A and B are shown apart, each in its own frame.
Chain A
Amino acid sequence: MATSFQNNLVRGALACGFMFMCGAAQAHLGGTPTSVQADGVVWQAPAVAGVAASGGRYTVFTHTTPEGVKVRQFVSTTGLVFAVAWEGPLLPDMERLLGTYFPLYQNALQQRKRSVRVDTPSLLLESGGMMRAFVGRAYLPDRLPLGVYALELQ
């Protein structure tokens, strides 16, 4: 038991180190173009930048993971990831994708409702679909770039 306890300590320390290294790039939703690139490394799904959309108000970066999950990150001209969207046979890595907002999502799951939804002033999240066909999105209502409407964030 002592041995395994010690192993756990070591593993824990390594995990902290990893998180610390990633700290600067952490965020994803609420993140930066740097975090978008870091996400691509972790997910083995390099971000592909689209052309500027919505009259140049933002750029969409698309990741396609080896599992076939498509994740889109919406980056404003000021470098803020103000929205993310996903679709695929599985849910994406929600913990990383939502970053500091992940606990709100976990809380919504615990409600055990048909509709997984978070509706707060700082986060709107909708997750739906079926096994092999999930779709959803999350955005920061109070940080949308001027002139961007929620409905276009799919």
Chain B
Amino acid sequence: MRWLLSLCLAAGLSACGGGGSGSNPSSGSAPVSPPPVAADTNVLPLVVGVGPGNNVNIPYVSVRVCTPGTSDCRTIDNILVDTGSTGLRLLSSAIAGLALPAQTTASSNVTLECAQFLSFVTWGPVKLADVYLGGKKAPAIPLQVIADPAYPVVPSGCAAAGPIATGVGDIHSNGILGIGVFVNDGQRYFDCAPTTPQTRCPAVLTPAQQVQNPVAALDSDNNGVVLQLPAIGSTGAREVNGSLILGVGTRDNNQLGNALVIQTDSRGYFSTTYKGVTLTNSFMDSGSNGLYFADAALPDCSGSLSGFYCPTSTQNLSATVRLRNGSNATIDFSIANASSLLASSSYAYNNLGGTLSDVSFDWGLPFYYGRRVFTVIEGRSSVAGVGPLVAYTP
């Protein structure tokens, strides 16, 4: 998730709605809904709707975490599904009363982590839990507990890296399920004795000791995920129900079908060309709640919505992405007036967009409506090839 905007909160809208509807013409080239997925042990119901953070275009699932090897468990709802980060991070308040053992360092200290998102950091201990995604179990994997009151001192280097997320209002959820292309999160860890200031005690962790992508730790269906959402109209929808499917090409319900495959570089990036400019650091990210790209021809919204696009009429646009087979594929999309959209009572929009630097195109959640979007983890084999890669149904 990385880059959530406090859309509704910043706009001062009481419930993200109550106003008139956006008067935008239909977006013309919307994809059609993929067939719904039947219940199965590798399927998690996915909801985009009213969430705890009062924001839009945020996909939520429920996750069950247990003290390893026991039946002492909590089911936590409103967990944000983020293909743009790695690892499960849970607010301390969401697992109150659940005893999870800490991951300890070689010097027997609790491992502490500073995880870097683009515009904020999460701070807290690394703990071990059996994590259940649907009917599948990732046994005793390292996860991060955010804002654990037992570890209030944030190292200065971490605090300088961005505002520290401590609650539902900061991450618009009870936790973040990072299921991108990486196996481990590669962040900053600390090995501090309880009595020393937590400033200069960096810990070097092996990849396996770091916070893990829970999907990669499953015993099967562990090579990646599919996100599937139905198509929605140009004025948005109040609630949308889709699926998070574990595995790629491992069962009937996660086959590639007619999906187009994009091989990413080792960082998860690929090339998108928009209005003649090739943006080499482009990515697909379920944790971004808009389509983010640079276009000086699209007017910025004013006031608290600055950073979103507010064209006077809906713009039908397209970009091309470079496929693994060497050809280019065109993706059509629309950008509506964000101010008009957000005045409606919807929480799901396929035409919300905003500004970004001129080296990236961020295909956020609006891209996912009416599609199946695949992510294959680095080094893992699949019917689509060896990860890291992404694929999508046109």
Binding site for B on A (CB under 8 A): 67, 89-91, 93-95, 109-117, 126-136, 151, 154
**Which of B63-71, B113-121, B243-251, B312-320 is near enough to bind chain A?**
B113-121
User: Which residues of chain B have C-beta atoms less than 8 A from A133's C-beta?
Assistant: 267-269, 281, 283
State which of A89, A113, A126, A135 has its C-beta within 8 Å of the C-beta of B5.
A113
CA distance A125 to B108 in the complex (A): 41
Q: Which of A91, A116, A128, A134 has the most CB of B within 10 A?
A: A128
On whether the beta carbons of B116 and A134 are closer than 8 Å, the reply is yes
Q: Mark B294-325, 1 if CB is under 8 A from A, else 0.
A: 00000000000011000000000000000000
Q: Do A91 and B359 form a contact, CB below 8 Å, given A131-B84, A135-B281?
A: no
Residues of B within 8 A of A127 (CB): 118, 357
Contact of B116 among A90, A110, A135 (CB under 8 A): A90
Interface residue B354 (Cβ < 8 Å from any Cβ of A):
yes
A151 to B294, CA, bound (A): 14
Given A112-B4, A114-B364, 16 additional A-B pairs, CB 8 A: A90-B161, A90-B188, A93-B157, A94-B161, A109-B120, A112-B6, A114-B290, A116-B118, A127-B357, A128-B356, A130-B118, A130-B283, A132-B185, A133-B269, A133-B283, A135-B357
B residues within 8 A CB of A113?
A: 3, 5, 119, 306-307, 354
| B176-202 Cβ-contact flags toward A at 8 Å (1 or 0) | 001010100111100000000000000
Q: Which residues of B contact A114 (CB under 8 A)?
A: 3-5, 118, 288-290, 292, 307, 354, 356, 362, 364
- Which residues of chain B are within 8 angstroms of A67 by Cβ–Cβ distance? 188
B360 at the interface (CB under 8 A from A): yes
Residues of chain B within 8 A (CB-CB) of A95 are: 160
Asked whether, in the complex, the Cβ of A130 is within 8 Å of the Cβ of B180, the reply is: yes
Closest 8 CB pairs of A and B: A126-B357, A133-B267, A113-B307, A131-B85, A114-B3, A130-B84, A89-B186, A95-B160
Task: Determine the chain A residues whose CB is within 8 A of the CB of B115 once the complex forms.
Answer: 131
Distance in angstroms from A71 CB to nearest chain B CB is 14
Rounded to whole angstroms, the CA-CA distance of A91 and B290 in the bound complex is 23
Residue of B nearest to A112 (CB): B6
Question: Can you name 17 A-B pairs with beta carbons within 8 Å?
Answer: A67-B188, A89-B186, A91-B116, A109-B162, A109-B163, A112-B10, A113-B354, A114-B288, A114-B307, A116-B118, A127-B357, A129-B118, A130-B180, A131-B115, A131-B117, A131-B186, A154-B359
Q: What does DSSP make chain A's interface, helix, strand, loop or mixed?
A: mixed
Is B268 within 8 A of A130, CB to CB? yes
Given that A109-B162, A113-B307, A115-B355 are known contacts, is A128 also in contact with B281, CB under 8 Å in the complex? Answer: yes
Q: Within the complex, what minimum Cβ distance (angstroms) separates A31 from chain B?
A: 18
Cα separation A114 to B306 with both chains bound (whole Å): 11
Across the interface, B119 reaches (CB within 8 A) one of A93, A116, A126, A151, namely A116
State how many angstroms separate the Cβ of A119 from the closest Cβ of chain B.
Answer: 10
A84 to nearest B CB, angstroms? 15
Bound together, the chains give a CA A151 to CA B358 distance in angstroms of: 9
Within 8 Å of chain A (Cβ to Cβ): is B285?
yes
The reply to whether the CB of B371 lies closer than 8 angstroms to some CB of chain A is no
Considering only CB atoms, which chain A residue lies closest to B117 in the complex?
A131
Q: Residues of A contacting B10 with CB < 8 Å?
A: 112
Q: Does B136 contact A (CB under 8 A)?
A: no
Which residue on chain B has the smallest CB distance to residue A136?
B357
Q: A-facing mask of B336-371, CB < 8 A → 1, else 0? A: 000000000000000000111111101010000000
A113, A127, A135, A136, most chain B CB atoms within 10 A: A113
Q: Which residues of A contact B228 (CB under 8 A)?
A: none
B289: chain A residues at CB < 8 Å are 114
